[in-house]
Chain A
Amino acid sequence: MATGVDQAVGMSLVVFSLLLFTYYSVWVIVLPFVENDHVLHKYFLPREYSVILPGIAAVILLLCIGQYAICFIKESTRLH
């Protein structure tokens, strides 16, 4: 078994992705079938955000990957 920090990081990733999946599933699949006065709606943003927020996350992810790629290419083509 992996030790210490590895286990903590791994388990936190698993828990985070489970939470994200559950929240997003309820947001997209369960909420349309719940009446508009139900108290559950208080915990969720308006439905348009369920499309906009993943879009923004995808853009940020692509920017980070591009940044990493640029740094890597700069480092590898730098002539000593």
Chain B
Amino acid sequence: MTKLLQWLFGVSLVVAGWALVSFDLLDLKLPQPYREVAWPMPLYLLVSFGCYSLATVGYRVATFNDCEEAAKELQEQIKEAKEDLRKKGLKM
């Protein structure tokens, strides 16, 4: 069985379970609060995934390492390259 089929199988199981609980397909007559929680579940999972992505991006932005010396060294090398090219006749 391919990975795609495995994923589709798993997803369809989850969707079937969700539909069973929120639309009461088997007439199980679950208590009302549980049905009210289960119904927005797909949207809730999507929103929480979005929040997790946003938090990860924000955290990585905040903890990204600035390399001061490497930046200065790079600026020096850019200046040198410009001088070199100007001497050889390239118009900047």
Q: Which A residues have a C-beta under 8 Å from some C-beta of B?
A: 1-3, 6-7, 9-14, 16-18, 20-21, 24-25, 28-29, 32-33, 47, 50-51, 54
Contact = CB atoms under 8 A, between A and B. Distances in A.
A1 to B, nearest CB: 6
B64 interface: yes
Given A20-B51, A54-B47, A12 B58 contact: yes
B51 A21 contact: yes
Contacts, number: 77
Contacts of A2: 61-66
Interface in B10-48: 32-34, 36-37, 40, 43-44, 46-48
Instruction: Please classify the interface of chain B as helix (H, G, I), strand (E, B), loop, or mixed, using the class held by over half of its residues.
Output: helix
Which bracket fits the contact residues of B? 20 to 34
Contacts of A54: 43, 46-47
